[in-house]
Structure 1
């Protein structure tokens, strides 16, 4: 009995997984390749002025996802930086709207993106606006502090100003199984945070001091980004809690509640938005690696730059110990 060609392909891919082999394959399954270039696409509008939409979706990281065939795609950090670089070269771009839907991410990646946006604004001298979607928490909120105006959808969840270092301890369970750690180290704190041993009180204080230091940096970023908010009031709510859009507005953490149309109108009303005379209908644009055109604003997603990996979904990814500006639940 002959198997269909597709069945043979599936069997070959399964065999590669089971034998932990890797064979480089150069193929395009309809999505962007590693070498694909970003190209401008027009969503709406007709005047020569442009407003660029840059999506920030998912956990903020400098790690690109592995594709199904073993390639490497841009991380959110790399993808956003690439778009900012392109925007800086286009004199017709008069503003940028960040479409943010993220629970946050690594401390360093969040801070780098914050700085990249600040430097972009300084060089380009155009406004950058944040539009929060479902979630814009922790590191995502950190990034928004670099922008000139923050709009949240009515059902957005935001806030989570804080730092977390996740970890578990399996020592007691392993002891019952007779499994012992025999790591050889140069100093008592070389394996600090290891799941194979208990944290001493001194080690706990050491890690807490790092978390506190990173939190203070986050706090200062928010304090700078929301200058109208009194520091004493900000301290009270910067305890990691999350807020609805209406709560965030009440606490002065955002500027307005609205939708995409609101973001465009508010962007054009900002003092730093310098339109060309009589340009009342700017082109709303985005950058894409694919030939497919998006029908509306809500289809513009950053997984196009960093697609979800089928391998990651099926088998998970390796975890590292990281300090995170992340809302974890």
Structure 2
């Protein structure tokens, strides 16, 4: 009996010893001297669209990126947040909401934000870039397109050709502005131009607010034109040429680059999509990218 007890005691002692040895190799969270500083990267890739994507691909809106932004700014050893932007633009309201949220988090945590344009930071994509304190682009990146655009089709003659009668009933004389199945009205076009000008003024104001005296006085700066990286640098639209890893490596050589990913919708997590919705979304996104030859 004593021998059994002695053997059991010895075995317990060996297990405790192994556990203590293993534990000694794992630094406590608060005592780790080798923990690296962090630069958190948020990907802003796709068309800016208020409508959610069934697979969370190719669409940027506040609901889609909120969780990624929150995670990016939540690191306890955060040195900076990098925005990896590849977007042809899209909805102005979502562009503004995301940019404002970035600034709110940056001010709250007192951390610098650096934007990196990849293939394209155009229109709303450039609006997002201006939320950063500094903007970098590759020499082949396309940057700018500070303007407003609306596109559509008119089907009035098509309906007449096939003998289809359009029936439209409204309360309010302007409720049916720009109806694609009715003849275009000059006053509707004038109203749309006025709306465009108001949005354009907001866009220009935002760029001037964020870029300040870094901007040049070039007459084409706010015409909706787009430029490659080197010319964008000359115009003051960006602060330098370079890519994310090179610039971050030089600025924060001891920091670890980590990617803050957004929470995926349920369908995306299950690997299931809505085929019809996905096809339509892909067609719309394709047309938006095609405006820039991409």
Q: TM-score, normalised by structure 2?
A: 0.76
The structure where helix makes up a greater share of residues is: 2
Of 175-184 and 71-80, deviating more is: 71-80
Q: Which string of whole-angstrom CA distances, capped at 9 and with x for unpartnered residues, describes residues 41-91 of structure 1?
A: xxxxx7421000110111022322114xxx999954223221222233322
- What is the match of residue 277 of structure 1? none
Q: What RMSD in Å do the two structures reach over aligned CA positions?
A: 3.2
Does the CA contact (< 8 Å) of 1:138 and 1:327 recur in 2? Answer: no
Q: Identify which of 257, 266, 280 aligns with 1:316.
A: 280
Q: Which runs of 5+ in 1 are unaligned?
A: 1-45, 269-279, 291-303
Structure-1 residue corresponding to 2:48 = 60
Match of 2:240 in 1: 256
* 1:136 corresponds to 2:125: no
Q: Which has the higher contact order (CA 8 A, sep 6+)?
A: 1
For 1:91-102, list aligned pairs within 5 A. Answer: 91-102=76-87
**CA spacing shift, 1:166–1:316, aligned 2, 3 Å:** same
Distance 1:256 1:72 in 2: 29
Say how many residue pairs are matched: 251
The aligned counterpart of 1:89 is 74
Change (3 A) 1:207 1:222: same
User: CA shift at 1:98, angstroms?
Assistant: 0.5
The structure 1 segments of at least 4 consecutive aligned residues displaced by more than 6 Å after TM superposition are 71-74
Q: CA deviation at 1:211?
A: 0.9
* CA apart distance, 1:217: 0.3
Query: Is 1:286 aligned with 2:259?
Result: yes
Q: Relative to 1, partners in 2 of residues 1:111 and 1:150: Cα closer, same or farther, differing over 3 Å?
A: same
Task: Tell me the CA shift for residue 327 of structure 1.
Answer: 8.5
TM-score (normalised: structure 1): 0.68
Whole-Å separation in 2 of the counterparts to 1:318 and 1:289 = 20
In structure 2, what is the equivalent of residue 184 of structure 1? 169
**CA deviations over 1:264-292 (Å, ceiling 9, x no partner):** 04654xxxxxxxxxxx41111113479xx
Residue of structure 2 equivalent to 1:274: none
Change (3 A) 1:125 1:51: same
Write the mapping of 1:232-243 to structure 2, written as runs, cut at 5 A: 232-233=217-218, 236-243=220-227
